[in-house]
Structures are given as C-alpha cells and as structure tokens.
Amino acid sequence: MSAVEFELLVAAVLLVLGPVAVFLRRMSWVSSFIYASSGGLCALIASVGAARLVARTGDSGLTLPLGLPWIGSHFQFDALTAFFLVILGIGGAVVSLYGIGYGRHEHDPMRVLAFYPSFLGAMTLVLLAADAFTFLLSWEVMSLLSWALVLTHHQETNTRTAGYVYLVMAGFGTMALLLAFGLLAGSDGHYAFDTMRGAVRSPTLAAVILGLMLLGAGSKAGLVPLHVWLPLAHPAAPSHVSALMSAVMTKVAIYGFIRVVFDLLGPSAWWASPVVILMGALTAVFGILLAMMERDLKRALAYSTIENIGVIFAALGLAMAFRANGLTAAAALAFTAALFHVFNHMVFKSLLFMGAGSVLTATGTRDLDQLGGLIHRMPITSFLVLVGAVAISALPPLNGFASEWLMFQAVLMSPAIPQDALQLMIPAAGGLLALAAALAAAAFVRIYGIGFLGRARSPAAQTAVDVDRFSLMAMGTMAVLCVLAGILPGMVIDAISPVAKAVLGGQLPLQTHEAWFMIVPIAEGRSSYSGMLVLLFIAVSASGAAWAVHRFASHRLRRAPAWDCGFPDPTPATQYSAGGFAQPLRRVLGTNILGAREVVVMPEPGDPSPARLTVTVDDPIWHNIYSPMGAVVIYVATKMNGLQFLTIRRYLSLVFLLLIALLVGLMLWA
C-alpha cells in the first residue's frame, strides 16, 4: 500500500468516525472512544508523513473515479504534503489526547463529537488533494465542519455572531480560491495540479492569481484585513477545537498558499513579493497589538495567532523575493524559516489554547481580570503554560527563538537582492517583525503575569484545582516538543529540507552533523546558533544563582504580610489589572492605530459615587471596512426588496432588457 493510499484510508476512517459517534451516542464511553481513535489515527498520519521527510520514502499519487466525471479525484503525497500532514497529525493527536479529558466537561458532547473527527479527516483531504475540484470540495467541507464546531455553544449570542461572521468570511475565501483555480486551470479547464504546474502564464495573470490566493488562503489563515472572523470564531469553539483551528487549520490555509503560489505558479515577478512581505509584517504588528489590549484569555491567544500567521507570511514573501532573483539558497533559508515557524506555532499555540481550556475548566472564566494566582492552585498547568509563553515570546533556548532567528537571518540576506525597492523595504519589514516579536513578549508577560501570578482576583480563581491527567499529558507533550525543537533545531531543519528541495530546488546545508547541535544556515563565519549551548548556560548559571541564593539567603527567610503601600486593604483589586498593564502600550501605539480612548468620569463634588475610567479599543478594520460594507449591502438589499413583488410580465421585461443589453454589447464588442 502506497503512502497516499494509506493516508486516504485514514482520512476516510476519520470522516466516517463522526457519523459513527452519532450512532454510539447512548454509550457512556463514546467520548473517550472517539477522541482516542481520532488521536491514534492522527498519530498514524503523522508517522507516515514523518517517514517521507526523515527516511525519504518516495512520493506517490492516486486517481479515484469520484467527483467530476471524466476527471476523477486526484490525490498526491509529496514532501510538502508530508510536512503538513506531520503538522496536522501531531496537532490532531495531542489535541485529541487533551480532548479525552476536556471532553468530559462538555455540556452537550455530541455537538462536538459528531464533527470533530470528520473535521480532522477533511483537513487531511485538503492536504492530499491534487486537483482543483477535490481541493475546493475538501476545503469547503473543512470550513463547514469547523463552523459547526464553532457553534457548539450556540446558546450564547456572541457565538452565533461569530458563526455568522465566520460563515460569510469562509464563503468569501472559497470564492476567491475558486476564481484563483479557475484562472490557474485556464480556458481549457486543466483541473489536475500536474497540468497546472506546467502551464505558462503572463506575469499579470500570475499576480492576479497571487492576489486571489492572498484573499482566499489569507482569509482562512487570518491575514489583516481579512482577520475579523478569527478572534470571534476561534475562542467561541470549545478549547480543544480552538486549539485545532488556531494551530492546525490556519496551517492548512498556509499549505494552500504554498501549494498554489510556490508549487503551481512557479517563480513570480519580483514586484509581487513586497505585497506579501508587507501584508505579513503589518498583520504581525496589528495582531499582537490587539492581543496586548485584549482582556479575554482565549481572544488574546487568537490575536496572537494572527501575529504568527503574519510572521509566516512575511517569511514566505521573503522566499518569493529571493526566488524571483534566482537566489535559491536564501529563498530556501526564508522558506525553511517559514515552515519551521509553522511547526513551532502549531506546537505552542495548541499548548497555550489547551492551557486556556484548563483554566476555563478550573475557574469557569476567560477574563484575565477574574484570574490571578493560578500558579499556586494549578502548578503543573501553570508551568506548562509558562513553557508555551516563553516559546511563543521567542526566547532562547526554546523553539520560537530558533525559527524567528532563522527568519531574521533571511532578512539579513536582503542586500543580495538587486532591486532597490526590495532592498529598502525588507529591512523596514524586518523592523516591523522585530517590533512584533518584542510586543509578543510583552503580551505574554501580561497574559502570564495577570492570569497566573499574583493573587487570585475572584473566588473561582482562588479555589481552582489542576486538571485531569490526560489534559496535563497532552500539554506536557507539547511543552517537551517546544524544548526539543528549541535545543535540536537542526533536526527540524533537516526534516524540512526535502520540502524546500522539492518546492524551490534548493535547501539548507545538512545541520545534524554540526558540533554542539549548532545550526549554521549559511556559513560558519556568518552566523550560527546553538539552543543546546544556551540551555546549558542557562542551566549552569541558574543553578549557580539558585545555589548562591540558597546558601546565603534561605536561612534568613521570614514570612510576613506583603507590603501594602501603607494601605491596610488586602483586596486583590489593588494589583495590576489586565487593562492597567497594557496602558503604556495602549497610549503609545493604540491611540493612533487602534483608536484607543480613555474616558474619565469624575463625580461632582459631594457625590460619593466612585470615579470611572472607561477604556475603549476598537479594531479599526472592522469600523473602516466591514461596517461600511455591511451598510452598503443592507442599503442595496433594502432598495432591491421591491423586486420580489413584481408580476410575471415585469420579470420577463427585466430579463428581456438584460438580454437586449447583452446582445448590443456583443454587437459593439465583436
């Protein structure tokens, strides 16, 4: 059995598992059974994909007589597909493990179970599809199933709004993809990827396809300004589904972008790449600024997903810029950085969302201002979330640093590009990315500091207890992956190199034979990094410091009330609040970019009521693009409402006039 047949079989079983769950709904073990089997199947998917990347097993393809007549359904299994199957497999397996524990708290488990495995199966099919029809069909099934999962808690108004916005945006994205594939197929209708790959296209047509892909894949991934649905829909789903959507489904969108833009379109004109780079960099800054302002834990994580998607797209844009100029090694560097970050983001974002889910289970709230002090009540969860927060903040020696470091190495290669415009723009974009990285660190200091440190701000947080062992095991696995990918980045880079080789024709030099687990992307004299050495240094210096503190200070420890600024009021509300922590950045950056406003209402003299400070932060994209667009749609729809109540004759007249207009147009044009 070839790899593609095996993966297809697993995908089919996953797709069927959803309906099976409905049949088994009376059984007490259905939840554990569905999650455990989904997890096992995902592990199979990942292992076959990993075999392709590490053991270099061959590619395979398959055509099934399904779908469109005379065309059939084409499937493929190559290095790019294999890499993303690994992402999907690992994410799916670990999140399903988490689901075994988390799913028990679900109020109405069938609302998740009926769609969850099929959602995984549909994503697998997107990755395996090798013709436009199969791809779009699987894509749409994936969108619809995730929409159904978002609506799990449909009793809440916010969730219904989120579902509606998501459905509209998903429809829009699929329409853009449909048009892109239409242009790719050309007038002859070559729907198979193999025939699209060989076609010759004008640069303008290629740029239009690229633009449509940015709209289609970008709206699913969450590129600004197409991101508005993401912070609504991702947090609305149950936490393990949020983890899947944020960590895996956005990666499937990135796969679609890479498959079309890098694989099917081939090298694009150099002037196409700045658009992607700038969109990516702006998305990164914008996303993390919004994450910084957000009080809701899961929404903040969703905004952080937008930031990471921006980083990945910026790296992909860099790869396009290098590739357009034939700088294959540099293109491979940027491309590897992008895929490495895809892997890393899958790991730490699922870890963080699972952590948020555990907090939600333990305290019943996602509001940062209701949390606090969880590190005492939920020590294991808190530690694991800390690992994820450190990793996503791109601090060495964890994995986030390795991929962002690689990306900045690619940014530093920009002087090799001949075009002045790119030479000027790429360092500027690099600056934006550095800003985003710094803001990400600040945002996660805020999330962790407010949510997990300090004293509990609500009775719920005060009585929280650590979650079940399945959840902890799942989060632990991801935390271990964060550390492993951080100290052994060479192994990940080597696993990505067949993908870069297949897509770009170039790859980074082999890393695993370097001493001290060093990674050397270009040359030894230029730059190198070893996560292992950093870890050793941190371990040695921290142990030394700990020993010194213990040796000289531990016996002088005494327990006393915390210093309370002279006010004997021990209420936890005197701690930093989430809004208070964000205030400096909100005033510096938020006022202009996000339209943040602070309104202070002072009571009249003699009025004993408290003063009030109201802070509003808006997403300007929503107000400047989506609200006017919605208003226009409503206006036009209202105006056209009268068209529903015409007589047959008037309808016929409309059709007749349109026909005449078309014929006249044809006459003038022909």
Partner 1 sequence: MGTLAFDIAHLLAGGLLLVSFMMIYQDRMFALLHVFAFHAVVLSLSVAWQAYNQGAPHLYVTAAIALVFKAAIIPIALRRIVKQLGVHREVETVVGVGVTMLAGIGLSALSIVLMLRVTAHADAFAREDLAFALSVVLLGLLMMVTRRNAVSQVVGFMSLENGLILAAAGAKGMPLVVEISVAFSVLIAFIVIGVFLFRIRERFDSVDVTAIDDYREVHR
Taking CB under 8 A as the rule, does residue 658 contact partner 1?
no
Our finding on whether 660 is near partner 1 (CB under 8 A) is yes
Q: If binding is defined by CB under 8 A, does position 645 make contact with partner 1?
A: no
Interface with partner 1 includes 646 (CB under 8 A)?
Answer: no
How many other CB atoms are found less than 10 A from the CB of residue 137? 19
**Among 249-257, 398-406, 476-484, 644-652, the segment contacting partner 1 (CB under 8 A):** 644-652
Of 406, 410, 404, 402, the residue nearest 427 (C-alpha):
410
Q: How many CA atoms does the CB half-sphere of 245 hold within 13 Å? A: 33
Closer of 55 and 666 to partner 1 (Cβ): 666
Q: How far is the CB of 661 from partner 1 (least distance, A)?
A: 11
Question: How many whole angstroms separate alpha carbon 552 and alpha carbon 560?
Answer: 20
Q: Does 653 bind partner 1 (CB under 8 A)?
A: yes
Distance CA 192, CA 65 (A): 14
Least CB distance to partner 1 at residue 413 (A): 55
Q: Does 670 bind partner 1 (CB under 8 A)?
A: yes
- Nearest distance from C-beta of residue 187 to partner 1, angstroms: 18
CA distance 312 to 474: 25
158 near partner 1, judged by CB under 8 A:
no
Q: In the set 600, 611, 637, 667, which binds partner 1 (CB under 8 A)?
A: 667
| DSSP three-state, residue 18 | helix
- Member of 26, 56, 559, 649 binding partner 1 (CB under 8 A): 649
Return the amino acid letter for 375: I
| Cβ-based nearer residue to partner 1, 592 or 647 | 647
> Contacts with partner 1 in 202-241 (CB under 8 A)?
none
Asked if the peptide bond before residue 225 counts as cis, ω within 30 degrees of 0, the response is yes
- Of 108-116, 236-244, 468-476, 651-659, the window that binds partner 1 (rule: CB under 8 A) is 651-659
Give residue for tokens 């006017």: 628
Site string for partner 1, 431-460 (x = CB under 8 A): ------------------------------
Listed in sequence order, the residues at least 6 apart from 97 whose beta carbon sits closer than 8 Å to its beta carbon are 35, 39, 470, 473, 474, 477
Give, as ranges, the residues between 9 and 38 that touch partner 1 (CB under 8 A).
none
Type of residue numbered 554: S
* 512 near partner 1 (CB under 8 A): no
Q: What share of the chain is helix, strand, coil (3-state, %, to 5)?
A: 75, 5, 20
Residue 643 found at the interface with partner 1 (CB under 8 A): no
What track of x and - describes contact with partner 1 for positions 81 through 100 (by CB under 8 A)?
--------------------
Q: Which is nearer to partner 1, 616 or 653 (CB)?
A: 653
**Which one, 22 or 655, has the nearer CB to partner 1?**
655
Residue 664 interacts with partner 1 (CB under 8 A): yes or no: yes
Determine the size of the site formed for partner 1 (CB under 8 A): 13
Burial of 584 (0-12, 13-18, 19+ CB in 10 A): exposed
Nearest to partner 1 of 601, 664 (CB atom) = 664
We find the least distance from the C-beta atom of residue 667 to partner 1, in angstroms, to be 4
Query: Of 638 and 647, which CB lies nearer to partner 1 in the complex structure?
Result: 647
CB of 68 to partner 1, least distance (A): 22
Which burial class, exposed, middle or buried, applies to 475 when counting CB atoms under 10 A from its CB (0-12, 13-18, 19+)? Answer: buried
Region label for 275, one of left (φ > 0), alpha (ψ between -120 and 50) or beta (otherwise): alpha
User: How many residues can be counted in the chain?
Assistant: 670
* Cα separation, 137 vs 122, whole angstroms: 9
Q: Which stretch binds partner 1 (CB under 8 A): 84-92, 447-455, 633-641, 659-667?
A: 659-667
Beta bridge partners, 73, equal 64
Residues 451 and 363: their CA atoms lie apart, in Å, by 11
Binding residue for partner 1, selected from 9, 633, 652, 658, defined by CB under 8 A: 652
Number of Cβ within 10 Å of residue 360's Cβ equals: 19
Cβ 314 vs Cβ 429: under 8 Å? yes
Q: Which stretch binds partner 1 (CB under 8 A): 339-347, 380-388, 483-491, 658-666?
A: 658-666
Min. distance of Cβ 658 from partner 1 in angstroms?
11
Nearer to partner 1, 613 or 662 (CB): 662
- Using CB under 8 A as the binding rule, whether residue 631 contacts partner 1 is answered as no
**Using rule CB under 8 A, residue 644 touches partner 1:** no
Question: Shortest Cβ distance from residue 167 to partner 1 (Å)?
Answer: 34
Q: What is the CA radius of gyration of the chain?
A: 26
By C-beta, is 546 or 664 nearer to partner 1? 664
Smallest distance, partner 1 to C-beta of residue 643, A:
16
Q: Is 523 in the site for partner 1 (CB under 8 A)?
A: no
What type of residue is 211? G
Question: Does 539 contact partner 1 by CB under 8 A?
Answer: no
Which residue number, 634 or 663, has a Cβ lying nearer to partner 1? 663
Residue 290's nearest CA partner among 304, 310, 277 is 304
The 3-state secondary structure of 534-595, one letter per residue: HHHHHHHHHHHHHHHHHHHHHHHCCCCCCCCCCCCCCCHHHCCCHHHHHHHHHHHHHHHHCC
Taking a C-beta distance cutoff of 8 angstroms, is the pair 56, 156 a contact? Answer: no
Between 537 and 651, whose beta carbon lies closer to partner 1? 651
Which tokens belong to 289?
């600024």
Q: Which is nearer to partner 1, 601 or 663 (CB)?
A: 663
Residues that bind partner 1 (CB under 8 A): 648-649, 652-653, 655-656, 659-660, 663-664, 666-667, 670
